Structure 1
Amino acid sequence: MTQGATDLLLNLVAGVALLLWGVRMVRTGMTRAFGAQLRRLLGRAMQNRFRAFAAGIGVTALLQSSTATGMIVASFAGRGLIFGPAAIAVLLGAGIGTSISAQYLSLDLHWLGPACIILGVTGFFAAEGGLPRHGGRLLIGLGLMLLALEMIINASAPMRDAPELAALLQPLERAPLLAVLIFALLTWLSHASLATVLIAASLARAGTIDGALAVALVVGANIGTAISPLVAASGQPPAARRAQLANLIARVIGTLAVLPFLHQLPGWLSVFGDDGARLVVNAHTAFNIALAAVFLPLVRPLDALTRRLLPDPPVTDLAARPRYLDKAALDTPGVALAAAARETLRMSDIVSRMLDETMTVFTRDDAKLAKAVEHSDDDVDRLHEAIKLYLTELSKHELDEGESRRYVDVLTFTTNLEHIGDIIDKNLMELAQKKIKNKLAFSSEGLAELTGIHRRVATNLQMACNLFMAGDVKLARQLLQEKASLRAAEQQAAENHYQRIREGRTETIETSAIHLDVIRDLKRINSHLTAVAYPILEQCGELTATRLRADERAARSLLPGKGNTGLA
């Protein structure tokens, strides 16, 4: 290949890459600026198929990505927030939404690209965050898309008569099914059917491909756009994948219906404009309108078919399976952080139950319950891992200052809950098993002290969860005061325990090590809980470098006398 041909090919590939990046910037700008509102719009529109269909058109036209809409639908369906027929209707509308975007982007708007970039860069750098910055990102992406389309057109026009290109395209013109499969694969890999349709439009405008091949590429892009969300939802429950499968089935049937008429369709569509680019975007629009007209009345039979192909699994213990970690929300950090926080509360419920059952194990010597508590820690570990991986994915997106702070808060509280689960599993349950095995019993006074400290820690756990969600400064102060008060109670309990030993109480002597270790572990649990208060008070300027000494003085002031010996 000559140097000139190499340069042209390089420019063509660069134009395609820039187009994909522009589509991504438009999508991320839109989701960060209006993602929560768009999700609410979809959620409210699920009452019937026609409203869902209209919502699919509108949301996809704004997001410029039917794949993004498909992932949102999958997350809603997986959580039972949308039923199958309505979900299929949304995806049928999403195809028309991309057609609308392709229609206006295929117009001769050479002046609009530079204008969007200038306005977008100005808005992006002028704003430190929020809607203006995200709007600037959206405009930059739109400008890059328009400039990329011009690059593709300019690069592909001289290649029209190149012998290398003729040798490459000739097999595709004779084997339209191969062309369909190649473009379906490209669309799936790029996750952007709009981009691949616009590439086909640019090649057709330059005369690089003929009308029949252009239509074949369009239907291939429509299959690829149905594969992307189905693959993305592969790890989710069957309910989350059924609508995606129904959408793919509809598009494959539509493709099989179109293939015999590939050479006639360009002539039929020429009445709407004989320009190559117009032919491609009109074929894309007509294909999706035809799909909607045929399959919108058939969404219930399609849903029934996918239920047979993807049945619900047998009911099992789902405690450790995340419910709220919505991957479709990762482009909207505020929504994703709320989902992670909600999943963290689920994790806290399991930890709270473990903590409650801990004292039952000690008072009733219930070895079976002890094993159940240990098993619950496995659920806590799995949820912690899922939340951590979800937040890791979120960290790859740009977060503003408030989102970054909340990210750290969620990750820290989740980690502290996991540590509490480990303390209960590996320490407290081991002590309980030791007590059961040796048939030991606490003294009545000792059991009352342990029960009192346990009750206060359990209350602090609920307070910490409320503080984690509300971020209330007054509640944070109260939690830290409880830390100092509990430390005083722990030291008093230790002193009382030593006094009973000096009195020669048999039960106290036999259970001394277990008794003191239980108090120590409850204190450690409480320390993990109160950690949630420090960032809130620090942000308000209520913490100083001497806060630890102040805590110690506060704890000593609550003791009945000097010289009491606490636990290390």
Structure 2
Amino acid sequence: MHEINWVNFACQLLGGLGLFLFGMRMMSDGLQKSAGDSLRSILEKLTSNRVIGAFVGVVVTAMLQSSSATTVMVVGFVNAGLLNLTQALSVVLGANVGTTVTAQLIAFKITSVALPAIGVGVFLRLFSKVPRFQYWGEVLIGFGLLFLGLQVMTQSFVPVRQSDLFREAFIYFSINPLAAVLAGALLTMIVQSSSATMGITIALASTGLIDFYAAAAFVLGENIGTTVTANIAAIGANKTAKRAALGHFLFNAIGVIYMLILLTFFTEFVDRITPGDANFVNAEGFHPYVARHIANIHTLFNLINIIVFLPLIGFLALLCEKIIPGKDIPDANATLLDDNLIDTPDMAVRQARKEVQRMSGYALEMLIMARKALFDRDLRLINRIYELEASVDRMEKEIGSYLVRLYQTPMTERNSLYINSMMHVIHDIEKIGDYSESIARYAEKMIQEKMDFSDAARDEMADIFDVAIRFCTHVFEGYNTGRFGIWVDTADENLIDQMKIQFKNNHMDRLSSGVCSVAMGILFVDILNKLEKVGDNAFNIAQILVQRELE
């Protein structure tokens, strides 16, 4: 009997799987970077229309080359409040169809172009100065590694055909499709990639270790296993995100159940519509046509599933709400950043910018309330400023930490510049919050010690406050909308500096004439200094906007 080198088998299988997974990841990263703006544009056009949602899921998954990446991203969007449950379920349904593109690609078995693709890709990646060509170089490298890995995995199974133990085990899958479904689901849970499991299934079937019927059952199991990733991502998310992940599992699991009952008919139908005989064996002992049959099984199953469940998506959403009852209680202090989006940098940057917008809104609110608290002597507003200051400080830390983690992922130069600018902006916003809190503490001291400005000092303080608030409002709107030329007038920063100097001189005149006390005068100057610093930090943000326009 032929002796099998199990160490060599394990090394080949793991090495081939590693090449396959790395190729998938590199191809996905390259596609994301080259199509990042298109990806964002597609998602921004998503409406409550379930058909459009499913189409978006197909397109985005085809771009990402991973249904797991799409569903994890959807869970992140739901958790951030960007998608409702019905929208999310329609996108995930489409993602199941989109991921079949990978299987169809694998079925071409164009291993002869793997090495040339890697060669051309490396040349573009290393020697091209154009970012878009570099990204497409990554796509080609990933494409080549994917097929190279598939070839290595297939070759690793060739000696195993001589093992009676393996043959008997895989024959068991042919007569017990439920066991094959469970094996496919378990393998996908372990590998965390239905595409990789699909590659292993094709390798097994191509070498004749499993027949087409067992391979079809494996494919059904892979569709259940791939839902685990989204459910893991939903741990710690809000109830709506958990329902979206549950919905993904339900329509895949239900689809597998009815398809398993019809599996004999289903495989016969696919065999009829697919060229070549799935059971044909060539001179080398390989099954050359079975890969396309398996890919078609995968595609047809998910197409049928989307046809069945798309009209019923509202009922499915209600079922998920019944299984996971209750309402989400929004936490005003919770950030909307989701680590699940980090693997999709374009989406993560977009979400981080929304958090920066929310943070700037808090800082502006603090400045406005500081003015009102100072003149209306309102302790309630002062306490609210203290609460917002804690929120702004926490947001700076969380956004900054998120941006650091995001910066470590592959991304476009544009996103890299956005992240770099956001790191500076959140610092300036936090400082504006600090100065507003300092002014609130001065207001609290004035209330406690029954101190007040003279009429002239009150008028001057009101004037410089109004300019500072106006300048911050325009800068924040310019940064958050990107419309710098429309919103921002940096002349306000110079005006604040001039007003501070002029009002300090006026204050000295009032001191010399006895109109203003020394203690009150010190508070007056301190508040002027804080407002001047507010203008400086707002100007820093305006400069970042100017730099962005010049680029």
Q: How high is the TM-score relative to the length of structure 1?
A: 0.82
Give me the whole-angstrom Cα distance separating, in 2, the residues matched to 1:135 and 1:360. 56
Counterpart in the other structure of 1:307: 321
CA shift for structure 1 position 263: 8.1
What secondary structure, in the 3-state scheme, does the structure 2 residue paired with 1:378 have? helix
Q: Are 1:404 and 2:416 counterparts? A: yes
Q: Are 1:528 and 2:537 counterparts? A: yes
Residues 388-537 of structure 1 aligned to structure 2 (within 5 Å): 388-425=400-437, 427-469=438-480, 470=482, 472=484, 479=490, 482-505=492-515, 508-535=517-544
Give me the whole-angstrom Cα distance separating, in 2, the residues matched to 1:366 and 1:54. 54
CA shift for structure 1 position 499: 3.2
CA shift for structure 1 position 7: 2.2
Relative to structure 1, the CA distance from residue 453 to residue 162 in structure 2 (aligned partners, 3 Å threshold; closer, same or farther) is same
CA shift for structure 1 position 409: 1.1
Q: Are 1:287 and 2:294 counterparts? A: no
Give me the whole-angstrom Cα distance separating, in 1, the residues matched to 2:222 and 2:182. 9
CA shift for structure 1 position 503: 2.8
Residues 99-114 of structure 1 aligned to structure 2 (within 5 Å): 99-114=100-115
Letter paired with 1:280? I
- Does structure 2 conserve the Cα–Cα contact (< 8 Å) formed by 1:39 and 1:72? no
| Residues 401-436 of structure 1 deviation map (CA, whole Å, 9 limit, x = unaligned) | 4433322111111121112223323x2222222211
Give me the whole-angstrom Cα distance separating, in 2, the residues matched to 1:66 and 1:28. 14
Counterpart in the other structure of 1:121: 122
CA shift for structure 1 position 210: 4.8
Q: Are 1:21 and 2:34 counterparts? A: no
What secondary structure, in the 3-state scheme, does the structure 2 residue paired with 1:345 have? helix
Give me the whole-angstrom Cα distance separating, in 1, the residues matched to 2:543 and 2:58. 46
Letter paired with 1:346? R
Q: Are 1:357 and 2:369 counterparts? A: yes
Q: Are 1:387 and 2:399 counterparts? A: yes
- Does structure 1 conserve the Cα–Cα contact (< 8 Å) formed by 2:400 and 2:423? yes
Give me the whole-angstrom Cα distance separating, in 1, the residues matched to 2:397 and 2:182. 38
Counterpart in the other structure of 1:546: none
Letter paired with 1:198? G
Letter paired with 2:415? E
Relative to structure 1, the CA distance from residue 497 to residue 170 in structure 2 (aligned partners, 3 Å threshold; closer, same or farther) is farther
| Residues 104-147 of structure 1 deviation map (CA, whole Å, 9 limit, x = unaligned) | 31233122222322332233234334432222211221111111
Relative to structure 1, the CA distance from residue 382 to residue 7 in structure 2 (aligned partners, 3 Å threshold; closer, same or farther) is same
Give me the whole-angstrom Cα distance separating, in 2, the residues matched to 1:467 and 1:87. 31
Q: Percent same amino acid at aligned positions?
A: 28
Q: Are 1:95 and 2:109 counterparts? A: no
| Residues 322-381 of structure 1 deviation map (CA, whole Å, 9 limit, x = unaligned) | 45x476764554554343233312211111111011021111211111101111123323
Letter paired with 1:486? I
Unaligned runs of 5+ in 1: 542-568
Give me the whole-angstrom Cα distance separating, in 2, the residues matched to 1:441 and 1:82. 50
Give me the whole-angstrom Cα distance separating, in 2, the residues matched to 1:189 and 1:503. 82
Unaligned runs of 5+ in 2: 280-286
Relative to structure 1, the CA distance from residue 370 to residue 150 in structure 2 (aligned partners, 3 Å threshold; closer, same or farther) is same
Of residues 132-141 and 165-174 in structure 1, the stretch that sits farther from structure 2 once superposed is 165-174
Of residues 530-539 and 434-443 in structure 1, the stretch that sits farther from structure 2 once superposed is 530-539
Residues 155-166 of structure 1 aligned to structure 2 (within 5 Å): 155-162=156-163
Relative to structure 1, the CA distance from residue 176 to residue 404 in structure 2 (aligned partners, 3 Å threshold; closer, same or farther) is same
Residues 128-147 of structure 1 aligned to structure 2 (within 5 Å): 128-147=129-148
CA shift for structure 1 position 193: 1.2
- Does structure 2 conserve the Cα–Cα contact (< 8 Å) formed by 1:96 and 1:285? yes
Give me the whole-angstrom Cα distance separating, in 2, the residues matched to 1:10 and 1:310. 44
Letter paired with 1:490? K
Counterpart in the other structure of 1:554: none
Give me the whole-angstrom Cα distance separating, in 1, the residues matched to 2:46 and 2:502. 60
CA shift for structure 1 position 186: 4.2
| Residues 12-62 of structure 1 deviation map (CA, whole Å, 9 limit, x = unaligned) | 101111111111122222222123324433554646434443443344334
Give me the whole-angstrom Cα distance separating, in 2, the residues matched to 1:57 and 1:373. 46
Counterpart in the other structure of 1:367: 379
- Does structure 2 conserve the Cα–Cα contact (< 8 Å) formed by 1:110 and 1:146? yes
What secondary structure, in the 3-state scheme, does the structure 2 residue paired with 1:440 have? coil
Of residues 194-203 and 442-451 in structure 1, the stretch that sits farther from structure 2 once superposed is 442-451
- Does structure 2 conserve the Cα–Cα contact (< 8 Å) formed by 1:56 and 1:69? yes
Of residues 157-166 and 106-115 in structure 1, the stretch that sits farther from structure 2 once superposed is 157-166
Q: Indicate the RMSD between aligned Cα atoms, in angstroms.
A: 3.5
Of residues 291-300 and 532-541 in structure 1, the stretch that sits farther from structure 2 once superposed is 532-541
Relative to structure 1, the CA distance from residue 451 to residue 198 in structure 2 (aligned partners, 3 Å threshold; closer, same or farther) is same
Letter paired with 2:154? I
Relative to structure 1, the CA distance from residue 338 to residue 62 in structure 2 (aligned partners, 3 Å threshold; closer, same or farther) is closer
Give me the whole-angstrom Cα distance separating, in 2, the residues matched to 1:442 and 1:457. 19
CA shift for structure 1 position 167: 9.1
- Does structure 2 conserve the Cα–Cα contact (< 8 Å) formed by 1:36 and 1:335? no
Counterpart in the other structure of 1:544: none
What secondary structure, in the 3-state scheme, does the structure 1 residue paired with 2:351 have? helix
Give me the whole-angstrom Cα distance separating, in 1, the residues matched to 2:487 and 2:263. 69
- Does structure 2 conserve the Cα–Cα contact (< 8 Å) formed by 1:186 and 1:224? yes
Letter paired with 1:340? A
Q: How high is the TM-score relative to the length of structure 2?
A: 0.85
Give me the whole-angstrom Cα distance separating, in 2, the residues matched to 1:403 and 1:285. 34
Q: Are 1:9 and 2:18 counterparts? A: no
Give me the whole-angstrom Cα distance separating, in 1, the residues matched to 2:259 and 2:501. 81
Relative to structure 1, the CA distance from residue 393 to residue 169 in structure 2 (aligned partners, 3 Å threshold; closer, same or farther) is farther
Residues 270-281 of structure 1 aligned to structure 2 (within 5 Å): 270-271=271-272, 272=274, 273-274=278-279, 275=287, 276-281=290-295
Relative to structure 1, the CA distance from residue 186 to residue 44 in structure 2 (aligned partners, 3 Å threshold; closer, same or farther) is same
Give me the whole-angstrom Cα distance separating, in 2, the residues matched to 1:474 and 1:43. 23
- Does structure 2 conserve the Cα–Cα contact (< 8 Å) formed by 1:36 and 1:332? no
Give me the whole-angstrom Cα distance separating, in 1, the residues matched to 2:344 and 2:139. 14
What secondary structure, in the 3-state scheme, does the structure 2 residue paired with 1:397 have? coil
CA shift for structure 1 position 398: 2.6
Relative to structure 1, the CA distance from residue 185 to residue 388 in structure 2 (aligned partners, 3 Å threshold; closer, same or farther) is farther
Give me the whole-angstrom Cα distance separating, in 2, the residues matched to 1:246 and 1:418. 40
- Does structure 1 conserve the Cα–Cα contact (< 8 Å) formed by 2:122 and 2:141? yes
Relative to structure 1, the CA distance from residue 199 to residue 257 in structure 2 (aligned partners, 3 Å threshold; closer, same or farther) is same
Counterpart in the other structure of 2:256: 255
Relative to structure 1, the CA distance from residue 178 to residue 490 in structure 2 (aligned partners, 3 Å threshold; closer, same or farther) is farther
Counterpart in the other structure of 1:555: none
